[in-house]
Amino acid sequence: MAHLARLLCVILSLALAWAPPALARSSGPAYAAIVMDARTGEVLHARSADATRHPASLTKMMTLMMVFDALDAGTLSLDTRMRVSARAAKAKPSKLGLAPGSTLTVRDAIYALVTKSANDVAVVVAEHLGGSEPRFAQRMTQRARELGLRRTYFKNASGLHNPGQVTTARDMARLARALMVVHPRRYHYFSTRSFTYKGQTYANHNRLMRSYPGMDGLKTGYVAASGFNLAASAVRGSRRLIGVVIGGRSTKSRNEKMRSILDASFARLGVDGTDIRVASAPQPPPRRPGALAGALAQTEVAEGDAADAGDAAARVAAGLAAVRAHRVYLDAQKAPPADTPLLAAPAQDPYAGAWAIQVGAFGSRATAESATVEALASLPQDLVRPSGARVTPLATPGGGVLHRARIAGYTSRVEAARACAHLASCVPVGL
């Protein structure tokens, strides 16, 4: 009998260890907030950042992470059609109102999750990728652990309330940062202002993007148990911040709080509101402090010097010279051709190859060029490919333009991955 009692105690303790932490009861949603530097991960503001909270539709950031993972793995394409089950069609609002038996493309699903925060679409994605929503939620939790989200547990793909679906403000900020770092070329989806599906246009629930200078994403959320939540990112000057507010009493109070903590954090970094750039991914930090500043003082460097230079400053200076030369196109009011090289390739390019590294996709060409130049400065000499540095303008579904920054000329995925290991924001790309 004593042995049985001890066995029951062991089983109970193990169950408690793997169960999500319980939320303390209160008269209303509990507040939590954090502001993080997207490039370094430094926390600039925190209040109850590690306290257990319900994520609501911030959950859909992880659902989208899983979609982006599958797109990169090749198990999904943007044109893949996903079937709508009867269970998905019955999801509670907010929803698109999908009919059972109909299908939805992955492309439309991404936009519907970002803008409308459609719960029926979240279920469609979960069932397509996981077989069932509970199995997909288990995979979401596993992915959370891989990303360092230690206090987050998912029970569904939508964020509809489940007592066991919990997180922290810090974990949601880490998730937002992971989306930028792991999927820099897909972050632009979170900047979508509106989405039209079958003649109906849905506005993004994050209306703060229209009024807060430099804000370009990410996601809103609300259930009664959590209050009004927001994970957001904004750029001023060369600094990008990620803010998370959980437990707002209203949309207005949540947005005002986000404004306040972001403004205070930018001020702490010495960044004012006069230099606003909207970029679609955080720029990689220079690995050699001062190299970029030193290069700016140099005005005349031949393009060919970059391939032979043994120091980062010379490579950066060569990149800046190429950028200045490239801007002749703009001064002459001529549209630059797609994939215009920042550095002209020699007749026989010794760095020709079938792989590239993507530094990011940015809202301004100047930001994309700066990120490319910084990337060249950060790479070790044997991985520098100056002739492969390119910035390509890409049209977005919303009518805007993103500027994709890549460095080509790698002969294998392994070599491209080695280069990416030296950059904070980077992904190997097969050509």
The DSSP code sequence of 106-161 is HHHHHHHHHTT--HHHHHHHHHHHHSSHHHHHHHHHHHHHHTT-TT-B-S-SS---
Q: How far apart are CA 219 and CA 227, in angstroms?
A: 14
Both tokens of residue 35?
A: 């502001």
User: For tokens 């060249």, what's the residue?
Assistant: 376
Contact (CB, 8 A) for 357 and 406: yes
**Residues designated as active site:** 57, 60, 117
Total count of residues recorded for the chain: 431
Strands 239-248 and 340-341: unpaired
Q: Please measure the distance between the N-terminal and C-terminal CA atoms of the chain and give it in whole angstroms.
A: 67
* Cβ-based neighbours of 415, under 8 Å, separated by 6 or more: 353, 355, 383
How remote is the C-alpha of 155 from its chain's centroid? Answer: 22
Question: In which element (H, E) is residue 201 found?
Answer: strand 200-203
Tokens 């632009």: give the residue: 188
User: What does the longest C-alpha to C-alpha distance in the chain come to?
Assistant: 90
Alpha helices in 269-343 (DSSP H): 291-296, 305-308, 312-326, 328-331
188 vs 134: CA distance, rounded Å? 29
CB 256 within 8 A of CB 262: no
Residue 245 corresponds to which amino acid?
Answer: V
What are 134's two structure tokens? 């509970």
Distance separating alpha carbons of residues 348 and 36, to the nearest angstrom: 45
Cα(63)–Cα(82) distance, integer angstroms? 15
Numbers of helices and strands, H then E, in the chain: 14, 14
Ramachandran angles phi, psi of 216, nearest 5°: -135, 25
Whether 37 and 44 have beta carbons less than 8 Å apart is answered as yes
